A and B are shown apart, each in its own frame.
Chain A
Amino acid sequence: EPEVTQTPSHQVTQMGQEVILRCVPISNHLYFYWYRQILGQKVEFLVSFYNNEISEKSEIFDDQFSVERPDGSNFTLKIRSTKLEDSAMYFCASSDQGGNEQFFGPGTRLTVL
């Protein structure tokens, strides 16, 4: 069964460093998303991406964040200058329609020291 994959599973970084989280969505899907989940809190929407542009973003997704689809298979989330409060699980998701059924990857645990 096709699935969303994410790398790395765990990323440790120093405050102020840039990180790139990578995702490979399900191959025939057209819509891509990033969510995050701070430990013990709810899953929160960050951004959605369709047709090579951001279609929706939350107030969390500020200028420190960016997304890119550098090729036909990968979808990345970049955090330019990490803060302690960026420590969370980051989930990539994809869907083949306008977001109605979103399938999530296993997540990348980001730890900012």
Chain B
Amino acid sequence: QKEVEQDPGPLSVPEGAIVSLNCTYSNSAFQYFMWYRQYSRKGPELLMYTYSSGNKEDGRFTAQVDKSSKYISLFIRDSQPSDSATYLCALMNTGFQKLVFGTGTRLLVSP
């Protein structure tokens, strides 16, 4: 079983739709959960950071962590064409410094 799994997509939605992006993981020791956005041939851009379980909201973005199910989600409300990018989940254990990334989900928002 892969440490972090993420559907590669592409996920195509019309402008204004609510987008749900997800990752599952196998290592219960992960305590820190991040979502990054990556445009083509650019560096990952940190969107959301969550510690342990629960929800976090920032503007149109909401991150959810369900540690009991080893499942994390990123919701994007009122999606815009500029949201078209690859979204990467990244997880980290307490006491370690390396981020373990998913493969990324490519999102396409059409006008």
Q: Mark A residues whose CB is within 8 Å of B.
A: 4, 31, 33, 35, 41-45, 48, 50, 55-56, 58, 89, 91, 98-107, 109
Contacts and interface: CB of A to CB of B under 8 A. Distances in A.
Interface of B: 32, 34, 36, 41-46, 49, 51, 88, 90, 92, 96-104
30 contacts: A4-B43, A31-B97, A35-B99, A41-B103, A42-B103, A43-B88, A43-B90, A43-B99, A44-B101, A45-B98, A45-B100, A48-B98, A50-B97, A56-B98, A58-B98, A91-B44, A99-B97, A99-B98, A99-B99, A100-B51, A101-B46, A102-B99, A103-B46, A104-B36, A104-B43, A104-B44, A104-B45, A105-B43, A106-B42, A107-B43
* 8 closest residue pairs by CB, A with B: A99-B97, A45-B98, A104-B43, A48-B97, A43-B101, A106-B43, A104-B44, A42-B103
Nearest to A6: B43
Given A43-B88, A100-B32, A100-B92, A91 B100 contact: no
Contacts of B46: 101-104
B92 A43 contact: no
A100 B42 CA distance: 21
A80 B103 CA distance: 28
